[in-house]
Each structure stands twice: as C-alpha cells, then as structure tokens.
C-alpha cells in the first residue's frame, strides 16, 4: 500500500494537508477527464491526488486505467498522483468485488459498503429495511469489511447508512473506527455532503486516536477537486 496518508492530528495543526485522495473521472461515474483533474490539481497547488475509480473484476477498462499513470503524473507534476480503486463489499463474509491479481497492481484499495450484500450474489433492498434493521446490518457488514486484509482504506465510514437513513449510532461508529485502527486500516475523512451526519464523530475519533487517515472529497467533477481540505480549513476558521 502506498498513498497520500497522514496522521489525523495533522488536521488540527497549522495547515490542513492539501490532498484529495478520493476522485472519480468520466471513466466511471464522474464527469471530468483524468487530464482535467491533473491540470486542476497542479493549478490548485495540491500536494497529492488519488484516482479511486469504482472497480471490480468485470471492469474491461482496467489495463487502460493503469497505463494512464505515467502521462497523468507528468501533467499533474509537481502534484503527486496515485491510482487506487474504490471496491465494494460483495459478500457478508467480507469478500470484495475485486480479485487479488488486480489489487496488487494498484497503489491502494478503498473498501466500501455501497449496498448491503445478501449472501446470494445480490443486495438487500434498502426500501425493505427499517432504520434499526439497516443500522444493525451496516454495523455487521462494516466489521466484515474491516477485517479483510485486502482493504487498505475504510472509505466513507458509515456512509451508506448516513446517506439513506441519517445519523449513525455514535457508540457503534466509534467502535468501528477503533476496529479499523486495530486492523491497520487507514480511515477516510470524507467531506462529501452526503456523509455530513457521520463526519463529526469519525473526525473526533480519528483525532483522539491520531490514526492514519485519508482525506477525500469524493469528487465527481473537476470543480469539486480539493473540496476536502477547503472544507476542513473553513470549518477550523469558523470554530477557532
């Protein structure tokens, strides 16, 4: 694993690291090109960016994605560029939707819940779940994800539940951050508005533990690049 990761307490230091380690292009569900992001990262004087395309074993473009690295790094220089992948939990056992052969070619893996796998190759309908049922399922599946040794970064912690149901049970969310640290995972500080109901708790717990963190905006358009350090810097000024 290699990536633009740092200790959480750097977020309370003099300057927020100018990093955006969660970026999606028009190769998958984003709206902007690799080249546009690289130029924008350079113009913003970002220290580093990381592309984290939604990837699984059916991604036919995978080799082309990896082949882009040298050219995009040249365009973005001196900003450092990393190529990772956002990979979803595929089974309640903790298995991912991307195999080890592909994983080894990437800088790092962001393991996430997108939907809740049902164990039969499909996903549980969110509409069929009460908030209490969804919360318990999210908690259980998150533990399975975090104990998978192939996961490097825990992406948008509590994010699926937050997006569809709201605030996460605080004690459980703190327990999951503790598990992530115990398992040697990097915890993502994701500033996207979809996940604001869990943002404060995740940030507080990471700061208390001074664990390794990844800072990401979850950008899907070049205009969103660098939003994560901007948001944190603004929040710090407002509460200082």
pLDDT at 116 (0 to 100): 95
Give first-to-last CA distance, the chain, whole Å: 35
On whether residue 100 sits in a domain, the answer given is yes
**pLDDT score, position 239:** 60
Q: pTM for the complete prediction?
A: 0.96
Reading the block at residue 76, the tokens are: 């973005």
Report the C-alpha gap between 130 and 78 in whole angstroms: 49
Please report whether residue 210 resides in a domain. Answer: yes
pLDDT for 240: 58
Asked, as a colleague might, if the bond just before 78 is cis with ω within 30 of 0, I would say yes
What is the residue range of 148's domain?
Answer: 6-238
Is residue 150 included in any domain, yes or no? yes
What total number of domains does the chain contain? 1
* 1 found inside a domain: no
What is the mean pLDDT of each successive set of 10 residues along the chain, which is 240 residues long? 95 88 97 98 98 96 97 98 98 96 97 94 93 97 98 96 94 98 98 94 96 98 97 78
Contact status, residue 213 vs residue 6, Cβ threshold 8 Å: yes
Q: Which two structure tokens, joined as six digits, stand for 32?
A: 């902007």
CATH at 85 = 3.20.20.140
Contact predicate 233/12, CB 8 Å: no
Which of 220, 215, 210 lies closest to 231, judged by CA? 215
Please report the pLDDT score of residue 7 as a whole number: 96
Place of tokens 């996430």: 112
The answer to whether residues 22 and 219 touch, using CB atoms and an 8 Å cutoff, is yes
**Per-residue pLDDT at 215:** 98
Which residues lie across from 20 on neighbouring strands? 49
């Amino acid at each position: 694993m290699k990536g633009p990761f740092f200790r959480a307490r750097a977020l309370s230091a003099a300057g927020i690291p100018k990093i955006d380690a969660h970026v999606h292009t028009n190769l998958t569900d984003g709206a902007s090109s690799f080249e546009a992001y690289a130029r924008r990262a350079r113009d913003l004087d970002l220290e580093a960016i990381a592309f984290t395309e939604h990837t699984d074993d059916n991604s036919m473009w995978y080799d082309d994605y990896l082949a882009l690295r040298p050219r995009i790094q040249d365009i973005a220089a001196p900003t450092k560029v990393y190529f990772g992948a956002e990979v979803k939990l595929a089974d309640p056992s903790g298995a991912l939707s991307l195999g080890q052969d592909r994983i080894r070619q990437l800088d790092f893996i962001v393991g996430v819940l997108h939907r809740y796998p049902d164990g039969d190759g499909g996903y549980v309908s969110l509409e069929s779940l009460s908030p209490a049922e969804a919360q318990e399922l999210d908690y259980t599946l998150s533990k399975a994800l975090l104990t998978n040794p192939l996961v490097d970064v825990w992406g948008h912690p509590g994010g699926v539940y937050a997006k569809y149901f709201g605030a996460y049970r605080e004690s459980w969310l703190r327990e999951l951050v503790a598990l992530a640290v115990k398992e040697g995972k990097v915890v993502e500080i994701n500033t996207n508005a979809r996940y604001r109901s869990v943002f404060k708790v995740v940030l507080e717990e990471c700061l208390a533990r001074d664990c390794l963190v990844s800072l990401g905006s979850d950008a899907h358009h070049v205009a969103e690049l660098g939003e994560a350090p901007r948001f944190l810097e603004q929040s710090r000024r407002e509460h200082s």
